[in-house]
Amino acid sequence: MREENLYRRGATWWMRATIKGIEHRESLRTRDVKAARRFRDKRIAEINDARHHGESRIMWKKAVAAWANHAIGQIAPSTAKRYGVSLKQCEPFLGTLAISEVTGKILNDMLAARRKSGVTAATIRRDLTAISRVLEFAEAQEWREGNPTLSKRKLLRERRNPIVLPETVDVLAMIENCSNKFGALVRAAWLTGCRQNELITATWRRLNLHASTLEVIGKGNKRRTIELSAEATAHFSAQPRTLRSDLIFCRDTGEVFTQAASDFTHYRRAAEARARKTGEHFCRFRFHDLRHLYAVEQLRSGRSLYDLSKHLGHTSVKTTEIYLAFLTPEQAEAAKATTAQNTSQPQRSARG
């Protein structure tokens, strides 16, 4: 093959070849000329083979679009949204490739870059899950063979970040720096232990102030009814109703907090800036940490692990046991003892 089929962009070698009247330009993703020659020859052989069999080269973006259309109605909207975010984050690494070119090496390079940028293991696992869905679909369409994400997901162990409980003074400072509507959302998370998405989708029709209960939609689109403490009930009751919206916590226009995570980060930065200006101490925390704080406070007050586990929507009480580490030995034993006594008939909590 003639050397002029190779050229460089910066330090990276690219291939340029005209096959059957169609010009192909592709990055060979290497700085080594010998490796570039091998990759060039392999790609030209693949293109020739595809032309010979009358096959078209399906690009990653086209495969993603086809999968998204196929997945409509088959996965929950929240799951589809999560996959969409992951696939968008991965596009800089995969967007110029054919679906058949997504190899284990390509994924390794992507994972290394994502880790270097500070992305957590949990987020990387979610990215790989989204990619896996697209590759499974592509394999079923006979656009490629194999799914290299499977081995990557097995090797990538998700490490849980250590739980750091927010201090009350920091939670109050955070609420003070939020808008009234968003501050109410933050306080509700503190008073109920609900997940962010459970609260931003909570509606008046699912709230029973007389019974002090709220039906929320949790992970996997599963519904559960939680009991509200007197303080939580009063907080929910005090929320103003927004015209033409059934949402309890929403924007002034009645629209859902679609960018709640970004909003929280914005208000947290404002709280940090204010603390620096006044010389006060502010320890940053995540929205989800309010759920942890609620859980620990509940166990310290004498609530059973079993009752709390049901309230939080955990599939197993083993998940809830992570909070025992924040209790004194006496408190932990009491929580476990109460759980053992009431597994078959959980008691109503005074604060839920």
The CATH number that applies at residue 320 is: 1.10.443.10
Query: CB of 105 within 8 A of CB of 148?
Result: no
Domain containing residue 82: 60-155
pLDDT > 70 in the chain, percent: 88
**For residue 154, what pLDDT band results from cuts at 50, 70 and 90?**
low
Task: Tell me: do 304 and 173 sit in the same domain.
Answer: yes
User: Where is 44: in which H helix or E strand?
Assistant: helix 33-52
Task: Tell me which of 69 and 231 has the higher pLDDT.
Answer: 231
Query: What pLDDT is stored for residue 170 in this prediction?
Result: 97
Q: In what order do the strands lie in the sheet with 207-208?
A: 207-208, 213-217, 223-227
Question: Do 87 and 225 belong together in one domain?
Answer: no
Higher pLDDT, 25 or 281: 281
Both 42 and 82 in one domain: the answer is no
What DSSP letter does each residue of 89-104 carry, written as one string? HHHHHHTTSBGGG--H
Q: Taking residues 183-199, what's their average pLDDT?
A: 97
**Judgement on whether residues 260 and 288 belong to the same structural domain of the protein:** yes
- Indicate if 103 and 40 belong to the same structural domain: no
If asked whether residues 140 and 279 sit together in one domain, one would say no
Residues 64 and 45 in one domain: no
Helix ranges, 206-288 (H) = 230-237, 260-278
User: For residue 351, which phi and psi values (nearest 5 degrees)?
Assistant: -130, 110
Q: What is the DSSP letter of 131?
A: H
Q: The CATH number of the domain where 98 resides is what?
A: 1.10.150.130
- Could you tell me if 240 and 320 lie in one domain? yes
Q: Comparing 313 with 150, which gets the higher pLDDT?
A: 313
pLDDT given at position 4: 66
Residue 154: C-alpha distances to residues 127, 128, 157, 169 (Å): 14, 11, 7, 41
Q: Which residue has the higher pLDDT, 104 or 209?
A: 209
Q: Is residue 161 predicted with pLDDT exceeding 50?
A: yes
Query: At residue 51, does pLDDT exceed 70?
Result: no
Is residue 117 in a domain?
Answer: yes
161 is a domain residue:
no
Say yes or no to pLDDT of 338 above 90: no
In a domain, 347, yes or no: no
Residue 346 pLDDT grade (very low, low, confident, very high; cuts 50, 70, 90): very low
Let me know whether 217 and 101 are in one domain. Answer: no
Does pLDDT of 156 surpass 70? no
- Please report the pLDDT score of residue 43 as a whole number: 80
**Average pLDDT, integer, range 7-13:** 87
- Does residue 350 sit within a domain? no
- Identify which of 34-43, 125-134, 174-183 has the greatest average pLDDT: 174-183
What is the arithmetic mean of pLDDT over 343-351?
45
Residue 327 counted as domain residue: yes
107 and 48, same domain (yes or no): no
What is the average pLDDT value for the chain, to the nearest integer? Answer: 87
DSSP state letters, 162-213: PP-PPPHHHHHHHHHHS-HHHHHHHHHHHHH---HHHHHT-BGGGEETTTTE
CA-CA distance, 269 to 254, in Å (whole number)? 25
Helix, strand, coil abundance in the chain, percent, nearest 5: 55, 10, 35
Question: Quick one: how far is CA 279 from the chain centroid?
Answer: 34
**Residue 146, pLDDT score:** 83
Q: Let me know if residue 326 belongs to a domain.
A: yes
Alpha-carbon distance of 274 to 284, in angstroms, equals 12
Give 46's pLDDT tier (boundaries 50, 70, 90): confident
Total number of domains in the chain: 3
Q: Is residue 218 assigned to a domain?
A: yes
Cα separation of 61 and 91, whole Å?
Answer: 8
User: Based on the domain organization, do 42 and 100 belong to the same domain?
Assistant: no
Confidence band of 153 (pLDDT split at 50, 70, 90): low
Q: 68 and 200: one domain?
A: no
Q: Mean pLDDT throughout 216-243?
A: 94
